[in-house]
Amino acid sequence: MPEFKTGPIIKNYGQNAQIAGALENPSQRNFKIIFDISEDSKSDKVNANYNTVARFINMHVRAGVPLKNLDIAMVIHGKASSEMLTRDLYQARFSKDNVNDELLNDLINAGVDIYVCGQSASYYKIDSSQLKPGINMALSAMTANQLLQQQGYILNPF
């Protein structure tokens, strides 16, 4: 049985097993995927949904898909919106560190586009200037999902 490993792109997250021959012509594949995320972290553990994005990236690169062929977008809304705050603002608001900081930075550095629902942000009193660098404010999650789908992105069902 294949062994689960992290990496090769997101080094400490996104455990996956290499499945030989499971993806035909991987170097010729292109993916445009939306991950719609509304749940926040549980019990001070890294948000499992963000780890799923890391796993998607790692799994496909390990299978031979070039990173440049992975267009990944995360649409964040609901309770997850607060996890997009800068490190200092999150610490000031919740009196603890955001356990997702390292992973979110790794995802941004890997080219993942992150959009926060402006409606959720307003509800949670978050201004666009309070978001981590590299995270964008959208009018709404519904709008971001629709606009991305018009660009050929497909909503990931997991």
For residue 8, cis peptide bond before it (omega within 30 degrees of 0): yes
**Residue 2: which pLDDT band, with cuts at 50, 70 and 90?**
confident
Which pLDDT tens digit goes with each residue over 66-109?
A: 999 999 999 999 999 999 999 999 999 999 999 999 999 999 99
**Amino acid 89: pLDDT:** 97
Mean pLDDT for all residues in the chain = 96
Element housing 143 (H / E): helix 141-150
For the chain, strand residue ranges (E) read 4-5, 16-17, 31-37, 70-76, 113-117, 135-138, 154-155
